[in-house]
């Protein structure tokens, strides 16, 4: 079976090790015997029809401006994918752009894709450091944040988790990230997936379930190294 992974804007939105998330997805699929086809989508490219997992990383404000127009074009199709249950992970910059709007600190408004019911404003101070959150779906999740955007959730979504250490979405309400259907948005770099295999396997299992039409238990993997990386990261000071 071939699993098609759509990588959104790898040239413009790929900061702080986010490409490692693609490697984690690819390797954990291959270790289970699946063939993986990674499709890079850059501004101006045509969006493919056959997609099993969607991923997009973080980028500077300048990078977000570059992809803004293209994202508006493909947003309806992306929304259709996500509404139909396609597992998705978007980090930092693309997490912000999947929302309704992002207003920079200088006051420039970037219209979002209106896929997630969130809005973001640029803050005066960057929120930087190690993060530990508690999630109802994946237990403790670790990562690293580096953002000035302050994101607030609307009524149509729920947070990925509650902040134990760090700032999360906005440094005020103790929320971090968002989860809507099978779409996860988060500020956690690091990258997030190698250190949190439960999230990786969630995306994989939902992709296989959607492709085959039935839920199946994934083949167990030896996660000794991944869990050790998680443990070490969870004990790092802010």
Architecture of domain 2-234: 3-Layer(aba) Sandwich (3.40)
Domain residue ranges of the chain, discontinuous segments joined by +: 2-234
3-state SS, residue 139: strand
**Does the pLDDT of residue 8 top 60, yes or no?**
yes
3-state SS, residue 85: coil
* Residues 117, 133: Cα–Cα separation, whole Å: 21
183 is catalytic: no
> Catalytic residue among 7, 41, 147, 189, which?
189
Residue 155 CB-density burial (10 A; 0-12 exposed, 13-18 middle, 19+ buried): exposed
DSSP for 180-212, written as a single string: ETTEEEE--BS-HHHH-HHHHHHHHHHHHHHHH
Give the whole-number percent of the chain exceeding pLDDT 70: 97
Q: Which of 61, 13, 22 is nearest to 192 (CA)?
A: 22
- For residue range 151-176, list pLDDT tens digits in order: 999 998 999 999 999 999 999 999 99
- When pLDDT is cut at 50, 70 and 90, the band that residue 213 belongs to is very high
**Does the pLDDT of residue 23 top 60, yes or no?**
yes
pTM over 0.85: yes
92 is catalytic: yes
* Residues 220, 166: Cα–Cα separation, whole Å: 32
pLDDT value of residue 63: 56
* Residues 104, 101: Cα–Cα separation, whole Å: 10
CB distance 55 to 6 below 8 Å? yes
Angle at alpha carbon of residue 204, lines to 202 and 208, rounded to 5°? 120
Averaged over 36-63, what is the pLDDT?
A: 88
ω into 20 cis (within 30 of 0): no
Mean pLDDT of the chain: 93
3-state secondary structure 13-26: CCCCCCHHHHHHHH
Q: What number of other Cβ atoms are within 10 A of residue 79's Cβ?
A: 16
- When pLDDT is cut at 50, 70 and 90, the band that residue 13 belongs to is confident
* Residues 6, 128: Cα–Cα separation, whole Å: 28
- When pLDDT is cut at 50, 70 and 90, the band that residue 66 belongs to is confident
> Catalytic residue among 92, 147, 183, 230, which?
92
């Amino acid at each position: 079976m071939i699993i098609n992974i759509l990588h959104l804007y790898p040239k413009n939105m790929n900061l702080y090790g986010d490409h490692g998330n693609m490697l984690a997805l690819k390797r954990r699929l291959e270790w289970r015997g699946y063939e993986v086809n990674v499709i890079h989508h850059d501004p101006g490219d045509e969006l493919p029809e056959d997609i099993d997992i969607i991923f997009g990383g973080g980028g500077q404000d300048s990078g977000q401006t570059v992809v803004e127009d293209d994202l508006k074009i493909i947003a309806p199709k992306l929304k259709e994918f996500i509404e139909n249950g396609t597992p998705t992970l978007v980090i930092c910059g693309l997490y912000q752009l999947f929302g309704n709007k992002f207003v920079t600190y200088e006051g420039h408004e970037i219209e979002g894709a209106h896929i997630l019911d969130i809005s973001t404003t640029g803050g005066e101070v960057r929120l930087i450091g190690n993060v530990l959150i508690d999630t109802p779906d994946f237990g403790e999740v670790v990562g690293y944040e580096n953002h000035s955007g302050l994101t607030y959730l609307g009524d149509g979504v729920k947070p990925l988790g509650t902040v134990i250490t760090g700032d999360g979405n906005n440094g005020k309400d103790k929320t971090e990230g968002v989860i809507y259907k099978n779409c996860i948005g988060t500020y956690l770099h690091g990258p997030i997936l190698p250190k949190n295999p439960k999230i990786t396997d969630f995306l994989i299992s939902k992709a296989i379930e959607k492709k085959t039409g039935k839920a199946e238990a994934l083949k167990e993997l030896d996660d000794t190294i991944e869990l050790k990386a998680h443990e070490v990261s969870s004990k790092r000071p802010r």
